[in-house]
Amino acid sequence: MRRALALAASPGVPLHPNPRVGCVLLAPDGTVVGEGYHHGAGTPHAEVEALAVAGDRARGATAVVTLEPCNHTGRTGPCAQALIAAGVGRVVIAQRDPNPQAAGGMETLLAAGIDVDAGLLADEAAEVNRAWTFAHRHGRPFVTWKFATTLDGRSAAADGTSRWVSSPAARRDTHLLRGRCDTMLVGTHTVEVDDPQLTVRGEDDQPVGEQPLRVVMGERDLPAERRILDDAAPTLHLRTRDPVAALRGLYADHGRHHVFLEGGPTLAAAFLRVGLVDEVVAYVAPMLLGAGRSAVGELGIGTIADAFHLELVDATVVGEGPEANVRMTMSPVGSRGARARTSTTEKER
């Protein structure tokens, strides 16, 4: 299974829209007769690729796969049926498929008389597709809130200037994080004031790779000349102030799994207040302003006992010398943490 997990996490495989999956086929004597992994949407699934390598040697083999073989026909046929047709004798699954449209492969295999075991290294398999798994389990995208702040918690100076709180090295690092998401989200105020382009850009400041969907949340019309409306990436305007409705629509109507929240303090506070932030990435600059805009807006907290607590996952120095920032990655904990909340989707399952 660890080999299958390594295949699933092969470099260069897109993180979305499909899950990353690895498969290893073992002959009855334990020798590997086929391997495969999913290379991205529209390409053969891991099981199909491994079966093609194995050929006739797949008959009676054990298929070790990181995700339950799919049970539906999309751009490719159902993998459960492909395994049955190849004469595989046993299937070992790490993670059951949380996507209701594709789930059911395990039952199909069992009905065909194939031995099936599930749950081996399931947590590790889920982590390979962290945002995808979360989105299908919760019925909404995983939300990463990213912001830059001074050491005293300011995102802008008293006169409103905010370029640049973060260093060039931190901004380059941010583009790497943007590239791991399928959605960029800001509010109308950020578009009006900062005019961000919200693309993934390289060293020459030009867009690189597949671009996330740019989403603006808010009821006001957008100024026509803003960069977010250019043709560098698709843009969607959600005319709502409700984070719950926004995320529900992004998942159900647009198939989005990972939102990168880069809006201002007001939008961030709106998501935090309703427990819809799953990860926080803060770039802390070694500077002091003493006054100015706070990094986050009103959270309805009046006493230290009600503070919003975060668990530190990682702290990394980004850059060197004067341009060094500290990137802190954190997860919400306690009753305010979105991960502690059980969604209706989960309860129904």
Give the tokens for residue 115.
């031995």
- Tell me if residue 271 falls in helix, strand or coil: helix
Q: Which of 105, 109, 81 is nearest to 95 (CA)?
A: 105
pLDDT score of 118: 97
Neighbouring residues of 204: CB distance < 8 A, sequence distance ≥ 6: none
The answer to whether 84 and 112 have CB atoms below 8 angstroms apart is yes
Of the listed 35, 47, 68, 262, which one is catalytic? 47
Instruction: Label the pairing between strands 183-187 and 258-261.
Output: parallel
Question: How far is it, in rounded angstroms, from Cα 234 to Cα 207?
Answer: 13
Q: What is the pTM of this model?
A: 0.89
Q: Which of 34, 14, 16 is nearest to 250 (CA)?
A: 16
pLDDT in tens, the chain (349 residues): 999 999 999 998 988 899 999 999 999 999 999 999 999 988 999 999 999 999 999 999 999 999 999 998 877 789 999 999 999 999 999 999 999 888 999 999 999 999 999 999 999 999 999 999 999 999 999 999 999 999 999 988 888 777 788 889 999 999 999 999 999 999 999 999 889 999 999 888 888 888 999 999 999 999 999 999 999 999 999 999 999 999 999 999 999 999 999 988 999 999 999 999 999 999 999 999 999 889 999 999 999 999 999 999 999 999 998 789 999 999 998 644 444 333 333 333 3
Give the tokens for residue 343.
């969604």
pLDDT score of 179: 93
Look-up of token digits 């005293």: 152
Look-up of token digits 């660890």: 2
How wide is the angle at C-alpha 90 spanned by C-alphas 88 and 96, nearest 5°?
110
Identify the CATH homologous superfamily for domain 2-128: Cytidine Deaminase, domain 2 (3.40.140.10)
- The CATH architecture of the domain made up of 136-348 is 3-Layer(aba) Sandwich (3.40)
Question: How far is it, in rounded angstroms, from Cα 108 to Cα 92?
Answer: 14
Q: How many Cα atoms occupy the beta-carbon half-sphere of 319 within 13 Å?
A: 20
Active site residue 311: no
- Any idea where the domains of the chain sit in the sequence? 2-128, 136-348
Question: How far is it, in rounded angstroms, from Cα 43 to Cα 88?
Answer: 22
